[in-house]
Amino acid sequence: MVPTAEPFGPGSAVVVFGLASAVAWGAGDFGGGWASRRAPVLGVSLLVQLLGVGLAAILALLSGEPPPEPGSIAISVAAGVVVVVGILGLYQGLAVGRMGVVAPVTGVIAATLPVVAGMAMAGPPAASVVVGILLALVAVVLVSRVQGEDGRRSGIEFAIVAGVGIGIFNILAGLLPDGEVFGPLFFIKIAATIVIVAIVVVSRSAWRVPRATVLVALAVGVFDMCGNALYLLATQAGRLDVAATLSSLYPVTTILLAVALLGERVTRFHAVGIAAAVAAVILIGAGSSGV
């Protein structure tokens, strides 16, 4: 009898966790965008990180995880610094530049860096996974595309900073040992919080969040924490390039929420991008199920 890959084989966990992280991060981005229109970006980001610190500490204690080793702490601190730089770069780019440039450039760079790193560390994956990864990158560009705004700068410099920061975070997260999730997340959130506080102190920027926006910012913190934890689980369940690619599909969630809750129109690019994302997930899942 010829052995066949089970539809829910060992490699399917990376697909489940990767997609779940995309859903959580996409929901967080939707809420973060809504909150940042009504409150300072630094203040919203600070609340998100502070909530993450508390949740990570509680979950680390409840899960019974052993304390992270010094090497894991160092990786976590570095990941916290680069990811908050990336996120602030993304928000700044979206604020001053063209969303149709900033969003897709950030997404593609953030996905491509860990894909290259994953292939360098583990070799090329199955052919269907490679095709799925390429389709996913196309999907990120298409679902992030919006009509250009005349007279606005492109903001591509912020997009590059954002993509590199988030992409390096994705790589560093993949270096954490199996079984370590909430302990590293605690140090990631601590480092990110310190960076934001330092920026606020040095720049004397506005940071106070209106009371009406606090609950939304805290909800964003929950989604962000879930996305981070699920991404770490995805990198520990399978290949880094697969985990990073699937999690990079978060703009699909953001677009669908904008359509459902804000009545935004689905453009032809969005529809094709969502179809490409579905095809990418099927190809990646088929190639990963027997890993």
Tell me the pTM.
0.86
pLDDT, position 7 = 40
- For residue 225, tell me if it sits in a domain: yes
- For residue 4, tell me if it sits in a domain: no
- For residue 1, tell me if it sits in a domain: no
- For residue 60, tell me if it sits in a domain: yes
- pLDDT tens digit string along 130-158? 899 999 989 888 887 766 555 567 788 88
- For residue 2, tell me if it sits in a domain: no
CA distance 177 to 70: 12
- For residue 52, tell me if it sits in a domain: yes
pLDDT, position 291 = 45
- For residue 6, tell me if it sits in a domain: no
pLDDT, position 266 = 78
Closest C-alpha among 226, 187, 165, 221 to residue 50? 221
**22 CB-contact burial (10 Å; exposed 0-12 / middle 13-18 / buried 19+):** buried
pLDDT, position 1 = 36
pLDDT, position 270 = 82
- For residue 65, tell me if it sits in a domain: yes
Task: List, for the chain, all residue ranges whose pLDDT scores fall below the cut of 50.
Answer: 1-10, 291
Residues in CB range of 170: below 8 A, 6 or more apart: 110, 111, 113, 114, 231, 240, 244, 247
- pLDDT tens digit string along 49-87? 999 999 999 999 999 899 999 999 999 999 999 999 998
| Number of structural domains found in the chain | 1
Range of the domain at 206: 12-288
CA distance 100 to 272: 16
pLDDT, position 126 = 85
